Structure 1
Amino acid sequence: MIRDLETLAAAADRRMILSMAACASLGVALMPRLALAAADREMLPQVRKVVERWVGPGKFPGMVASLGIPGRDPEYVARGSEGFTDGDAVTPDSLFRIYSMTKPVTGMAAMQLVAQGKLGLDQPLYDILPKFRTMMVQDTYDGSVTELHPAPRPITIRYLLTHTSGIGYTIIQKGPIKTLMEDKGLIAGQVSRMEIPGLSRGAPVHGLDHFADRLAEVPLVSDPGARWIYSMGLDLMGRVIEVVTGRSFDAHLRETIFEPAGMTSTFFRVPAGDAGRLTTNYGAVGDVLVPIDGSENSIFLDPPPFPFGGAGLVSSPRDYDRFLRMLAQFGEIDGVRVLDEQAVRIGTGDLLPAGVTIPAMFGGNAGFGAGGRVGKGAEAGIYGWSGAAGTVGMVDMVHALRSQIFVQFMPPNASGLLPEFQTALKADVMALLENK
């Protein structure tokens, strides 16, 4: 009925990051006086038109977009409801499944440990998780799981953060390696309680410790440090953080990022009392949106098998904007120091191993930082990533501008919404500059 999961996730991430890059091409020179230009005017008139055009019967039930600039509260455009059968208006405080936008959060948590000297970027993973000391690699990518060779170098923390570890991903891999991973419960994400052909992939393993142990038993799909391959590296990083800090990964994020940053609506499990704020997620079947995870019986109301550091968070537009603003201000928000400045500066910079490039389908011509794409050239300073159900978040580290869109449908490239949004966002920012 609905497209295969790897098609959903891979297409979502690559199309959305390409769209994000198009907006990033506004360029460094265009941003300096945005705050003054926007002091007394609506910042998002073109984005508002796009949102209004795409919300309604036969389209989307609701969505939220935002733009934040220095010296002014973020402007939100919110239209519609939290679901076609949910009468609650969608707001900046509605809850959305942000999927892979979890990766920058996990990445920054790791960078804080690097800044504190508790982790090293080029530290071997086996120092923390000894079972990863002797890894084998497929001779042929996605080929045989018995024709293998020893990894020529160890997996490092840098490789986990930048998808260069050689670890695979069940939403990406094909053939026997995919089957092996699924049989071991290495399924780093959840979509629905429903048994949906193409989406239901068996039972995930329970516990980050068991996830890590089983992942160490699976061959790598590429030599560590040799190739950019979308991976479960950020999920494994959750276990690294647990071992290094001595506390659960979810508790660590809550105590070191969410609470000090004032992010009160970001969860791996949505509390029952907040279920009314949860939007409905839809699967695109042709031109029809079919509900696959509603608010009243969402899979996100249950404890997850383990906290998915690569795709597990639910958040609100207001909360995620606080995360982006904290990054834009180099780790500080509302007078509270959340992350060390060094952690943010290094984590939002290019951490790719020498000679490694990002495939064009995932944004190309760019670097990669701690869990997020890093712009180059005219996009210098742009850091961010996207989610498989229609969310995008990005920050311009040079000028502290950040933008977002939140909607819930899979795959997000099933419509022209996101490219239209990025075109409108670019026009609005240019208008702010022209009328400064």
Structure 2
Amino acid sequence: MMKKLISIVAALVFISCSTDQDRNYNLSKVDPALVGFDKESLERIDDFILSSINNKEVAGTSAIIIKDGGVVYHKAFGMADIKNKKKMEKNTIVAIASMSKLMSTVGALIIYDRGLYNLDTRLDEILPEFKDPKVFVSYNSETKSFVTRAADGPILMKHLFTHTSGLVYPFFTPPEIGREGYMQGRVYDAWSPDTSLTLEENIKRLSSLPLVDDPGKKWHYGLNMDVLGRVIEVLDGRSFALFMKEEIFDPLGLRDTGFRLPKSHWKRVAKIYSSLDGGGTEFLCCPEYSDTELEVLGQPRFTIDTYKQSMRTVAMGGADIYSTAYDYARFLQMLLNGGTLDGARILGRKTVEMINRPLSNLFSPEDKNTAMGLSVGVVVDDRLNYEHHSTGSYFWGGYFYTSYWVDPKEKLIGVIMNQINPSTSRLNDKFHQLVYSALD
């Protein structure tokens, strides 16, 4: 049935399977059978991706699987730009959103390896604006002011890495805990079109707002990796974007990865969609904000075309990076190798091992098998797991339906990139399931 499905939709979608890019990026393409995969089972992945495209769940997909350091699967399907009939290629560039967090974490760990802080270092020793943090009590909408109390303790560096600092994303803040006040703070989470805004200024604005909880008490998804970016600037001296380029992107040969793309790359950036009905509706930033809130922020609604061509200078470590499935897989392979790739040493081996250490159970208290490592979800014990993840596997995803995982036990990496929000698709879960099911 699935073979028949492929033939039906073949005229509607495109597939790109050239091996040139594999050679250029110095990751060897290997016979799946030689590293423990059943080839026919791997082909089922194609069927499910094509089905998702045909059902208008996603417009286009690029995916890659690395096993034992070799590429066993690397394909692209569907469309990157429906209106202009541009197909999704293996080198199509996408907005990876929260998959930026692990890259920013590695940047901060490079500074850690140089002995400039430890995980128990107080944040205010590096960024004095975070001294004596306050915690939200209530918000007075008439006076437009917060009622706060002193926090139980300081924010520590480990709280940033594990999203337990009490810092939040403004758009995740409900009205009952002062959403209006957080909007008035004019803190940008990502995709800022403000060409004059600096990371220093944005983080100072953030520091003036109350925490939603005492540091270390609860898990709250927030601007923690963005603060880490500012920590890097203060301790290293370079801008965060330049640091990431010189310390990670360039040494690893990530030619299609960065905060700002050169004009020559724009034509390879995929459109982001909010709906695939008709010819597709492009995603407009930012649906979580009302028109009034955007007016307060001074931010119009815009598409990715507007953003990629902007001359903004701020780089937000939590969600601002563009990349490809291939580049991101190379980055993950560096981690799987213990901090090195193609002769480039990015992190020390023992520092890499900290990333998937289950440091906080506040991430999902009801799920005893999932903990928080350094910006990643970690599988604590595969004996408690309903799915295939091995103990020590780590994972995360991005707002536009991108995701990755690393399984150190199996020496396995999976990356899948789509560009849609919202999405009701289960494609990424199916991709993960089928990869593991194809192992002999």
TM-score tier, shorter chain, comes to 0.7 to 0.9
CA contact (8 A) 2:65 2:71 kept: no
Shift of 1:381: 1.5
Taking the aligned partners of 1:63 and 1:107, their CA distance within structure 2 comes to 26
Residue type of the alignment partner of 1:422: H
- Partner-residue secondary structure (3-state), 1:76: strand
- Partner-residue secondary structure (3-state), 2:108: helix
Please tell me whether residue 124 in structure 1 is matched to residue 116 in structure 2.
Answer: no
Please give the per-residue CA displacement for 1:319-344, whole angstroms capped at 9, x wherever unaligned.
Answer: 00101111111111122212221221
Cα distance change, pair 285–75 in 1 and its aligned pair in 2 (3 A) = closer
Shift of 1:67: 1.0
TM-score (norm 2): 0.80
Residue type of the alignment partner of 1:166: G
Residue type of the alignment partner of 2:403: V
Q: List gaps (5 residues or longer) in structure 1.
A: 1-33, 194-202
Shift of 1:110: 1.1
Residue equivalent to 2:435: 425
Residue equivalent to 1:333: 341
Residue type of the alignment partner of 1:162: T
Residue equivalent to 1:98: 96
1:171-250 pair list within 5 angstroms? 171-175=171-175, 177-190=178-191, 206-250=197-241
TM-align CA RMSD: 2.8
Residue equivalent to 1:300: 308
Please give the per-residue CA displacement for 1:19-70, whole angstroms capped at 9, x wherever unaligned.
Answer: xxxxxxxxxxxxxxx8744479467212111111122484533111221101
Residue equivalent to 2:67: 69
Shift of 1:225: 0.7
CA contact (8 A) 1:141 1:221 kept: no
Taking the aligned partners of 1:174 and 1:296, their CA distance within structure 2 comes to 26
Please give the per-residue CA displacement for 1:365-393, whole angstroms capped at 9, x wherever unaligned.
Answer: 32212221111100422112100001001
Cα distance change, pair 416–395 in 1 and its aligned pair in 2 (3 A) = closer
CA contact (8 A) 2:138 2:178 kept: no
Cα distance change, pair 42–269 in 1 and its aligned pair in 2 (3 A) = farther
Q: List gaps (5 residues or longer) in structure 2.
A: 1-31, 285-301, 383-389
Greater Cα offset, 63-72 or 156-165: 63-72
CA contact (8 A) 2:78 2:88 kept: yes
CA contact (8 A) 2:35 2:67 kept: no
Report how many aligned residue pairs link the two structures.
Answer: 382
Shift of 1:306: 1.4
CA contact (8 A) 1:268 1:304 kept: no
Residue equivalent to 1:149: 149
Taking the aligned partners of 1:93 and 1:411, their CA distance within structure 2 comes to 24
Residue equivalent to 1:13: none
Task: Determine which structure has more spread, i.e. the larger CA radius of gyration.
Answer: 2
Please tell me whether residue 383 in structure 1 is matched to residue 381 in structure 2.
Answer: no
CA contact (8 A) 1:145 1:219 kept: no
CA contact (8 A) 1:136 1:219 kept: yes
1:383-422 pair list within 5 angstroms? 383-412=394-423, 414-422=424-432
Please give the per-residue CA displacement for 1:232-272, whole angstroms capped at 9, x wherever unaligned.
Answer: 11111110110010010000001111111111111111211
Cα distance change, pair 256–37 in 1 and its aligned pair in 2 (3 A) = closer
Shift of 1:215: 1.1
Residue equivalent to 2:244: 253
Residue equivalent to 1:314: 322
Shift of 1:284: 3.3
Cα distance change, pair 189–43 in 1 and its aligned pair in 2 (3 A) = farther
Taking the aligned partners of 1:71 and 1:210, their CA distance within structure 2 comes to 41
- Partner-residue secondary structure (3-state), 1:65: strand
CA contact (8 A) 2:82 2:280 kept: no
CA contact (8 A) 2:256 2:324 kept: yes
Residue type of the alignment partner of 1:327: L
Cα distance change, pair 115–409 in 1 and its aligned pair in 2 (3 A) = same
Taking the aligned partners of 2:53 and 2:428, their CA distance within structure 1 comes to 13
Taking the aligned partners of 1:265 and 1:141, their CA distance within structure 2 comes to 44
Shift of 1:347: 2.1
* Pick aligned residue for 2:273 from 254, 271, 282: 282
Taking the aligned partners of 1:335 and 1:216, their CA distance within structure 2 comes to 40
Cα distance change, pair 119–303 in 1 and its aligned pair in 2 (3 A) = farther
Residue type of the alignment partner of 2:371: G
Residue equivalent to 1:81: 79
Residue equivalent to 1:46: 44
Residue type of the alignment partner of 1:420: K
- Partner-residue secondary structure (3-state), 1:80: strand
Residue type of the alignment partner of 1:183: Q
Residue equivalent to 1:351: 359
Taking the aligned partners of 1:298 and 1:272, their CA distance within structure 2 comes to 13
- Partner-residue secondary structure (3-state), 1:92: coil
CA contact (8 A) 1:350 1:368 kept: yes
